[in-house]
Amino acid sequence: MADQWEIWDVYKALLALAAGIILGLERELKDKSAGLKTITVICLGSALFAILSYRIGGENEPTRIASYIVSGIGFIGAGVIFKDAVNVSGLTTAGIIWLAAAVGSSIGFGEFYLAGTFMAASLLIVYLSPFLNNLFKAKKQTRIICFVITKADRKIKEQIYRDLKQQGIKIEERKIELKDNHLIISAEIIISTSTVGNLENYLIENELIMSFSL
């Protein structure tokens, strides 16, 4: 098939560029791992794949190439997700990457209004989410507690667990380690936000607990 240049392809490239900059700028301003350049390139690449898919696949099979964008972009999105203990970061960035690919694909297929609508909706929720989080704050949170006691005081561990449960804290032991006659105990707790201060005071005032992290 001969290479044909069309003015609509230029418009699509410019729109994909603009969409990528808008989506990427939000991540760039928050200093995320995938920022302006990454998301803009993803949006442009998705638009190009959609254009190629439509031209090569023809009217009978216009999504032959573009169908692989969804699975391929997942590898990039997975690379920006990190897990630290119970905390997971990068999920929003991965979602923006996925959306950038979808917006770029929509532009490549000529669905400009559809791409603009969903991009505006996504930006709306991204910018409104801090206000919504403050409005509907979670009453409970999951944390990892780690405390150190001496080997001789190992029986105090069960007493500590009982004391925490009396405060309404759900606790599940994750790991116990013996080092230099000291027991390092790690556990996952589910605690009410109003109880965090009481837990901190308990851990500080307990003389049998040599050190802790929460």
User: What pLDDT sits at residue 1?
Assistant: 43
Q: List pLDDT tens digits, range 49-60.
A: 888 887 776 666
- Of 114, 135, 156, which residue sits at a domain end? 135
* Residues 97 and 200 both lie in one domain: no
Instruction: Give a yes or no: residue 2 inside a domain.
Output: no
Number of domains in the chain: 2
Domain extent at residue 152: 140-213
**Residue 76 gets which letter from DSSP?**
H
Query: Does one domain contain both 178 and 82?
Result: no
In a domain, 159, yes or no: yes
By three-state DSSP, how is residue 65 classified? coil
Confidence band, pLDDT 50/70/90 cuts, at residue 62: low
Domain membership of residue 47 (yes or no) is yes
Confidence check: pLDDT of 3 > 60: no
Are residues 101 and 167 both part of a single domain?
no
pLDDT band for 111, please (50, 70, 90 cuts): confident
Same domain, 101 and 35: yes
Confidence class for position 86, pLDDT limits 50, 70, 90: low
The Cα–Cα gap between 94 and 22 comes to 16
185 is a domain residue = yes
Q: Residue 30: is its pLDDT beyond 60?
A: yes
90 within 8 A of 82, measured Cβ to Cβ? yes
What is the model's pLDDT at position 87? 65
Q: How confident is the model at residue 2 (pLDDT cuts 50, 70, 90)?
A: very low
Q: What rounded mean pLDDT belongs to the chain?
A: 80
User: Does 112 reside within a domain?
Assistant: yes
Residues 77 and 129 in one domain: yes
Given a cut of 70, whether residue 154 has pLDDT beyond it is: yes
Domain end among 113, 135, 157: 135
Same domain, 160 and 207: yes
Same domain? 79 vs 20: yes
Q: Is the pLDDT of residue 132 over 70?
A: yes
Q: Confidence class of residue 153 from pLDDT cuts 50, 70 and 90?
A: confident
- The CATH number of the domain where 174 resides is what? 3.30.70.260
Question: Is residue 108 within 8 Å of 66, Cβ to Cβ?
Answer: yes
The reply to whether 78 and 180 lie within a common domain is no
Q: 52 and 35 in one domain?
A: yes
CB 184 within 8 A of CB 176: yes
> Can you name the residues that pair with 148 across neighbouring β-strands?
184, 211
> With b meaning 16 or more CB within 10 Å and e meaning fewer, what string describes 143-178?
bbbbbebeeeeeebbeebbeebeeeebebeeeeeee
